[in-house]
Amino acid sequence: MKKRYERNMNALTAEENARLSGFRVCVVGCGGLGGYVIEFLGRLGVGHITAVDGDAFEESNLNRQLLSDEGSLGENKAEAAAKRMKDVNSNVTVSAVKKYVTDENCESILRGHHIAIDALDNVKTRRLLENTAQKLEIPLVHGAIAGWFGQVCVIMPGFPVFDKLYLGSTEPGMENELGNLPFTAAATASVQAAEATKVLLGKGSALSGKLLALDLMSQDYEVFELATQSV
């Protein structure tokens, strides 16, 4: 399909778009955030995506999770991501890892990727992901949502931020109290995908060492400093 990436031009150069096919991205969590991130990066042309999730779809996912539908209830989320991308962009390889990340497997799952995406829903596993990405010197793009609110930051090697962001907490976030809306997931995942693309292509990152807080109710967007760095 010669015109597949035609509308990526001139926002990306032809050379940049061609380079995307050589990158390996690990998306940890294939629910509300991860499903959209995989969709965006796959449509953009990222060549290899590892989709990691041990969970299966349930009815409560249908309000916001792109990869879910009434026929996929009970199906593993990572496997659904791989099936979806075969229909969307057959040039992209999605490897499904049908496991939750743990202390025992996190390093082996992340190793060999150019960047990782945090699309998780709990602080404890996010901390594990950040620690492992730091050890392997892999950039990590964090995202989280709750109700009308979302947040995104880019965590570069040598500049961890979760100790500042979560202040020692390992408890679940506010999503249990505020719920999760479909447009919050899509908006936050869009920012994650954009930041990941910039890091991969060496175009810098507006959120490197910073936190973008989105409030879709008031349409307020604020950026907070978390670490001193530049990319």
List all residues 6 or more positions away from 75 whose beta carbon is below 8 Å from its beta carbon. Answer: 56, 57
What pLDDT score was predicted for residue 227? 66
Domain 3-225 in this protein, CATH class: alpha beta
Higher pLDDT, 100 or 229: 100
**pLDDT score, position 187:** 98
3-state secondary structure of 150: strand
Please check the confidence at residue 175 and state whether its pLDDT lies above 90: no
CA distance 51 to 59: 21
Sort strands 48-52 and 24-28 into parallel, antiparallel or unpaired: parallel
Please state whether the predicted TM-score (pTM) of the whole model is above 0.85: yes
**For residues 146 and 174, is the Cβ–Cβ distance under 8 A?**
yes
Q: What is the pLDDT of residue 103?
A: 98
Overall average pLDDT of the 51-72 stretch: 97
The residue-averaged pLDDT of 62-86 equals: 97
Structural domain spans, the chain: 3-225
> What average pLDDT is seen over the chain?
94
Q: Which whole number is the average pLDDT over 16-45?
A: 98
Res. 171: pLDDT tops 80:
no
The pLDDT, as a whole number, for residue 204 is 82
DSSP string covering 54-102, please?
A: --B--GGGTTT-TT--TT-TTSBHHHHHHHHHHHH-TTSEEEEE-S---
Mean pLDDT of the 91-114 span: 98
